[in-house]
Amino acid sequence: MPELPEVEVICQGLLIHLLDRTITSVHCSGKQLRATVPCKEMQTKLSGKRICDLSRRAKYLILTTECGAAIIFHLGMTGNMGIFDVKSTIKKHDHVRWTLDNNTELRFNDPRRFGAVHFISTENAAEEIHHFFANTGPEPFSRTCSVAYLTKRAAPRKIAIKKFIMDNHVIAGIGNIYANETLFRAGIHPERPSCSLSKAEWKLLLSTIRKTLKHAIACGGSTISDFRGASGDGGYFQMNFRIYGKAGQNCLNCGGVIKKINIGGRSSFFCPTCQPEKV
DNA sequence: CAAGTTACCTGACGGC
DNA sequence: TGCCGTCAGGTAACTT
């Protein structure tokens, strides 16, 4: 599930359960994720350490501890994290477990194993984290992510606008679903060349991105309030899809038929009337 | 340098 | 029932 809103909701949900808890041990399934999980190193360096913070950057979660060490999580396509009782049954794809000092565990579950668990143990963790995100685009809600910035980045690019806003080096956190949803809401055809958008269109698109992501966070947050033992996959945001997965259905704006095309290997949905090819 | 392709994995689903 | 192809929310390393 994890695009920016889902990762943000998971972050907020987990924070309450993790803050000021002490990690007592770390266990791994031994399966390879996107990168090898440094299980032994985490076990050695995190045991007995208190958790100071959990935050989000792009689609990543960052957990920091009192000793300065940090874990950077990425949920890939199918990853999920939750807090469980230590005695509860370990599920098939629970690949990493961080046992806490109150008989609960943080569990990282990921069937498809496109996710990743990076460990930063140096004293200069802050600097390394900064380095880790050096090539990541600005957060959509930040001042840096302005119309001027996006226009400038888009100027030399002819790729489809949908691919462009999904590029996390340009802007962080937008995946296939929210790319589809925001372009529909802004009335912009997903195959428009990035460089062809006017300043007014960029202004509309950016505000639509912000509004849509914010709304999705609010919806997710309202339903997934307790992560303890929960699967965490019951987000309310799905109710708000207007275009994603709706090929052949009628557009909510104009009643026309929603089309599905392939852009860069990803399913793309649009309304030919509300999102015209040329302006 | 931009843009396109491929690889990494499992599971769910539809057709036969 | 099962076998097969297709598809799935992401990212980075390739090639062109």
Percent of chain A with pLDDT over 70: 94
Per-residue flag: A264 CB under 7 A of strand B: yes
In terms of domains, do A182 and A261 share one? yes
For residue A198, being part of any structural domain is answered with yes
d(CA A279, CA A277): 7
- pLDDT for res A224: 36
Our count of domains for chain A comes to 2
Per-residue flag: A266 CB under 7 A of strand B: no
- pLDDT for res A120: 95
Residue at a domain's end among A132, A156, A178? A132
In the structure, what pLDDT confidence band is assigned to residue A235 with cuts at 50, 70 and 90?
A: low
Percent of chain A with pLDDT over 90: 85
Give yes or no: A266 in active site: yes
Question: Tokens 């959509």 sit at which residue?
Answer: A140
In terms of domains, do A123 and A168 share one? no
Bridge partners (DSSP) listed for residue A195: none
Is the predicted pLDDT of residue A219 greater than 90, yes or no? Answer: no
For residue A90, being part of any structural domain is answered with yes
Distance CA A123 to C1' B5 in A:
39
| Contact between residue A246 and residue A258 where contact means Cβ atoms under 8 Å apart | yes
In terms of domains, do A263 and A171 share one? yes
For residue A137, being part of any structural domain is answered with no
- Tokens read off for A76: 């890939």
- pLDDT for res A115: 95
For residue A38, being part of any structural domain is answered with yes
- DSSP H helical segments within chain A, as ranges? 4-18, 39-46, 125-132, 147-154, 161-166, 176-186, 199-223
Higher pLDDT, A215 or A230: A215
| Contact between residue A274 and residue A188 where contact means Cβ atoms under 8 Å apart | no
d(CA A110, CA A80): 6
In window 89-128 of A, residues with CB < 7 A from nucleic chain B are 92-93, 111-114
Is the predicted pLDDT of residue A3 greater than 80, yes or no? Answer: yes
Domain that residue A197 falls in = 147-270
Give yes or no: A59 in active site: yes
For residue A275, being part of any structural domain is answered with no
A67-71: average pLDDT: 94
pLDDT in tens, A220-230: 743 433 333 44
Distance CA A260 to C1' B15 in A:
21
Give yes or no: A21 in active site: no
For residue A278, being part of any structural domain is answered with no
CATH code of residue A68: 3.20.190.10
In terms of domains, do A98 and A155 share one? no
Nucleotide nearest to A237 (CA to C1'): C9
Mean pLDDT of chain A: 91
- pLDDT for res A230: 42
In terms of domains, do A35 and A101 share one? yes
In terms of domains, do A53 and A91 share one? yes
- pLDDT for res A233: 46
Residue at a domain's end among A99, A132, A165? A132
- Tokens read off for A221: 């947050």
A12-21: average pLDDT: 94
- pLDDT for res A223: 40
- Tokens read off for A86: 């230590």
| Contact between residue A93 and residue A82 where contact means Cβ atoms under 8 Å apart | no
Give yes or no: A278 in active site: no
A86-93: average pLDDT: 94
Nucleotide nearest to A115 (CA to C1'): C10
CATH code of residue A225: 1.10.8.50
Question: Tokens 């009643």 sit at which residue?
Answer: A255
For residue A43, being part of any structural domain is answered with yes
Which pTM value belongs to this model? 0.94
A202-225: average pLDDT: 82
Residue at a domain's end among A87, A107, A132? A132
For residue A140, being part of any structural domain is answered with no
Nucleotide nearest to A180 (CA to C1'): C9
Contact partners, residue A199, CB within 8 Å, separation at least 6: A147, A151
pLDDT in tens, A121-176: 987 889 999 999 999 999 999 999 999 999 999 999 999 999 999 999 999 999 99
